[in-house]
Amino acid sequence: MAALISLTKRRREFLDQIWQQYQTTNLPVHYSDVAEAIGVSKWTAYDVLKTLESQGLLKRTYAVNENETGRSTVVFSPTSMADLLFQKERREISNPDEWEIILNRVRVLMAQQQNLPLMDAIKHILELMKNVEVKLEFCTYFLCVLLLFLNSLGNPIKDLTVNMVNASEESHIQLSVFVGAVVGMIIQSVGDEISPEMIIIVQQFFNNANQLHSTEIDLLISFIKQS
């Protein structure tokens, strides 16, 4: 699995611009249009967009050049990984009863995925996570992915890993230790079979988890221990 994607301020500016243009027209964007909007040469824009392409955030296609018969031109559009970067802000949980609804929904989902091939189950949950609107629920779905992976390794390894959360009394640290340990195991054992989209999902998990209240982190820790 590739390292977590790092976007410089300059690359993010180009990605933002191509995203905005694509959302407006729903058509792939020519690099000269991006260049004009930002105020750089078209060759500079092309080089930056190629870099974003190599990071899996853009994909290129070819469109007919209306000014030159028989010739095509390179255009770019955002990938699903870029879509994840631009997802709308998730909301806070509204009341304690909502957590019980989320918890029951996730437990049913886990039970349904147990009999599926591991990678199919993980990819299915990652796809569902794109539409989750609640921060706490998003984090719970991600933990569901990690727990399904641990289940595939057998109870001794799962129990040992879950017990790692007791290494600290701070719930934020407990969560980070658990997630870091399991993601590391996934990288080592599964590697390229995991969609590159999971790179962004990991980042989004920590972004959302960092916005949770301590009581919500405690709920996630309890979910880990009880699953």
pLDDT, residue 2, reads 35
pLDDT, residue 83, reads 76
pLDDT, residue 47, reads 94
Torsional sign, CA 76, 79, 83, 86: negative
User: What are the residue ranges spanned by the domains of the chain?
Assistant: 9-85, 96-226
Provide the pLDDT confidence category of residue 1 given band limits of 50, 70 and 90.
very low
- List the structure tokens of 214: 């301590």
Q: Give the C-alpha separation, 162 to 149, whole Å.
A: 12
The one-letter amino acid at 147: L
pLDDT, residue 69, reads 57
DSSP summary character for residue 196: T
* Cβ–Cβ < 8 Å for 166, 143: no
pLDDT, residue 176, reads 92
The H or E element spanning position 32 is helix 31-38
| pLDDT per residue as tens digits for the range 119-141 | 889 888 888 887 888 999 999 99
Please return the burial class of 35, using the count of CB atoms within 10 Å of its CB with bins 0-12, 13-18 and 19+. Answer: buried
> Quick one: how far is CA 82 from the chain centroid?
9
* Cβ–Cβ < 8 Å for 119, 192: no
- Phi/psi region, residue 170 (left: phi>0; alpha: psi -120 to 50; beta: rest), is beta
9-85 CATH: 1.10.10.10
- List the structure tokens of 33: 């249009």
Instruction: Flag whether pLDDT at 223 surpasses 90.
Output: yes
> Cβ atoms within 10 A of the Cβ of 194, count?
20
Average pLDDT, stretch 197-215? 83
Q: In terms of DSSP H, where are the helices of 55-117? A: 80-85, 96-113
Q: Give the C-alpha separation, 63 to 29, whole Å.
A: 10
Q: Give the C-alpha separation, 125 to 104, whole Å.
A: 15
- List the structure tokens of 122: 């993980």
> Cβ atoms within 10 A of the Cβ of 143, count?
23
> Cβ atoms within 10 A of the Cβ of 13, count?
15
